[in-house]
């Protein structure tokens, strides 16, 4: 068989995606990513960002970012371990530890980066990782990078997890064993069964790793899913992102002091990739101060989420099993789901369709992400358009 050229490979695969209607076209947003966005000159109600608390455009964060940029410049100038660690990076890590109720924390350039960094700094080819089948792509890639044996368990199936943990432990084949899970699952908005996961981990004496990208700032009075269940000192790795509810960019691990000390000398993105910019760091500190100071934004987020959920349910839509602001509107058929999202867009709502292979076949959905920054009028307008398009397409 003759080998393919790059051009042949790309053409074949791009054509296949386009023929299947799976080639994603990116719509640039012309201005801030707030509750209303402008795309191609049209204003749309934005139900697709992860900017849960509206902090991405908050004036207090903008001011902190500008101030730090004036003081420190636009770049950190080096990786953290050479001389890219500015005093504000240290301050951010101290704040994160307070925020998460842990001994210490380490900040990375992104949540994705954080999973690349932390898993492979601790796990290797002699180890095993029990991973929920619906874990985020960055967890999956982080696990692969570590070369540990990956044992997938059925989504939130605690019996399956217990059986597979016992088998891994009793096999005697692995040096170390870790259970790894999202705190909040991003496609359905359901919460991991952390109390049972921690119980299983303690019974078999294995590590726990919770990536709470969608839980921080949302659950547990802002501190996340682990705090929500009162497990702050019983989970080994608490991962968070600074890019969703916090509204800026970056990721972190919070945990015991010795874990953080180890990650500072062994996690490769920390050692070999330049530190987060001073402006972003200062904005993150401001955001965490705001969250530790008051629950107003979280309360508003939940109020808006409940309002949108009730509204969609009352119209007759299936919103799945969400326990968080993530609100899927399950349509089922892939083509219909895409058509629904497109029609909503034409009418004035930006809500992305998510279909196979991101979610199982036949469970296509339009995913809604209400935020604290939406007004009741915006949500009413969105619901009216959902009703209009839903009836037109005979979905309700």
Catalytic residues: 186, 214, 244
Helix (H), strand (E) at residue 254? strand 251-255
Residue 186 found at the interface with ligand PLP (CB under 6 A): yes
User: Is 265 in a helix, a strand, or coil?
Assistant: helix
What's the rounded Cα separation, in Å, for the pair 250 and 112?
Answer: 9
Q: By rule CB under 6 A, what count of residues binds ligand PLP?
A: 13
Using alpha carbons, select from 261, 243, 233, 221 the residue that is nearest to residue 93: 261
151 and 129 in contact (C-beta within 8 Å)?
yes
Interface with ligand PLP, residue 112, by CB under 6 A: yes
Site for ligand PLP in 208-227 (CB under 6 A): 211, 213-214
Q: Please state the closest distance from residue 250 (CB atom) to ligand PLP, in A.
A: 7
Binding of ligand PLP by 136 (CB under 6 A): yes
Contact between 251 and ligand PLP (CB under 6 A)?
Answer: yes
For position 324 contacting ligand PLP by CB under 6 A, the verdict is: no
SS (H, E, C) 261-276: HHHHHHCHHHHHCECC
Q: Indicate the SS3 state at residue 240.
A: strand
Smallest distance, ligand PLP to C-beta of residue 139, A = 6
| Interatomic CA distance for residues 244 and 225, integer angstroms | 15
Q: Work out which of 48, 51, 102, 110 binds ligand PLP, going by CB under 6 A.
A: 110
* Min dist. Cβ of residue 273 to ligand PLP (A): 13
Per DSSP, the three-state class of 224 is coil
Specify the length of the chain in residues. 396
Q: Is 35 in the site for ligand PLP (CB under 6 A)?
A: no
CB of 128: closest distance to ligand PLP in angstroms? 21
Torsion over CA: 85, 246, 199, 132 (sign): negative
- Residue 48 contacts ligand PLP per CB under 6 A: no
Counting contacts by CB under 6 A, is residue 367 touching ligand PLP?
no
Q: Which of 156, 241, 304, 322 binds ligand PLP (CB under 6 A)?
A: 241
For ligand PLP, the closer of residues 32 and 332 by Cβ is 32
Q: Which of 58, 93, 127, 182 binds ligand PLP (CB under 6 A)?
A: 182
Minimum distance of ligand PLP from residue 132's CB (angstroms): 11
Contacts of 266 (CB under 8 A, 6+ apart): 121
Nearer to ligand PLP, 241 or 345 (CB): 241
51 is a contact residue toward ligand PLP (CB under 6 A): no
Partner residues linked to 182 by β-bridges = 211
DSSP, collapsed to helix, strand or coil, labels residue 129 as strand
Shortest Cβ distance from residue 367 to ligand PLP (Å)? 12
The answer to whether 365 touches 380, Cβ cutoff 8 Å, is: no
Distance CA 62, CA 18 (A): 40
Interacting residues with ligand PLP between 255 and 314 (CB under 6 A): none
Give the range of 85-93, 110-118, 315-323, 356-364 binding ligand PLP by CB under 6 A.
Answer: 110-118
363/359 Cα distance (integer angstroms): 7
Contact 209, 351 (CB under 8 A): no
Residues contributing to the site for ligand PLP (CB under 6 A):
110-112, 136, 138, 182, 186, 211, 213-214, 241, 243, 251
């Amino acid at each position: 068989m003759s080998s393919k050229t790059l051009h042949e490979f790309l053409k074949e695969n791009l054509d296949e995606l386009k023929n299947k209607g799976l080639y994603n076209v990116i719509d640039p947003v012309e201005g801030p990513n707030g509750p209303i966005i402008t795309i191609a000159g049209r204003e749309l109600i934005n139900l697709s960002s992860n900017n849960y608390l509206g902090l991405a455009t908050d004036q207090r964060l903008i001011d902190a970012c500008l101030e730090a940029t004036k003081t420190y410049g636009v770049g950190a100038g080096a990786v953290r371990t050479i001389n890219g660690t500015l005093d504000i990076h240290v301050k951010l890590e101290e704040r994160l530890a307070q925020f998460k109720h842990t001994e210490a924390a380490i900040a990375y350039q992104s949540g994705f980066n954080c999973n690349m960094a932390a898993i492979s700094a601790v796990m290797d080819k002699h180890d095993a990782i029990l991973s929920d089948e619906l874990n985020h792509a960055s967890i999956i890639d982080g696990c692969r990078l570590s070369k540990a044996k990956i044992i997938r368990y059925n989504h939130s199936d605690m019996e399956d997890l217990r059986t597979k943990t016992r088998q891994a432990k009793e096999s005697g084949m692995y040096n170390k064993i870790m259970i790894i899970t999202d705190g909040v699952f991003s496609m359905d908005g359901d919460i991991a069964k952390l109390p049972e996961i921690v119980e299983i981990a303690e019974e078999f004496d294995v590590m726990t790793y919770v990536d709470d990208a969608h839980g921080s700032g949302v659950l547990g009075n802002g501190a996340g899913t682990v705090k929500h269940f009162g497990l702050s000192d019983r989970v080994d790795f608490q991962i968070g992102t600074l890019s969703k509810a916090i509204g800026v960019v970056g990721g972190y691990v919070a945990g015991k002091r010795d874990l953080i000390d180890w990650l500072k000398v062994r996690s490769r993105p920390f050692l070999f990739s330049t530190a987060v910019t001073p402006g972003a760091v200062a904005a993150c500190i401001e955001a965490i101060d705001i969250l530790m100071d008051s629950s107003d934004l979280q309360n508003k987020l939940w109020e808006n989420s409940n309002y949108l959920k009730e509204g969609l349910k009352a119209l007759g839509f299936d919103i799945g099993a969400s326990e968080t602001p993530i609100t899927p509107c399950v349509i089922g058929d892939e083509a219909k789901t895409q058509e629904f999202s497109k029609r909503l867009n034409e009418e004035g709502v930006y809500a992305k369709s998510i279909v196979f292979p991101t979610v199982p076949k036949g469970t296509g959905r339009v995913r809604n992400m209400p935020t604290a920054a939406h007004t009741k009028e915006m949500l009413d307008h969105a619901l009216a358009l959902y009703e209009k398009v839903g009836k037109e397409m005979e979905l309700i």
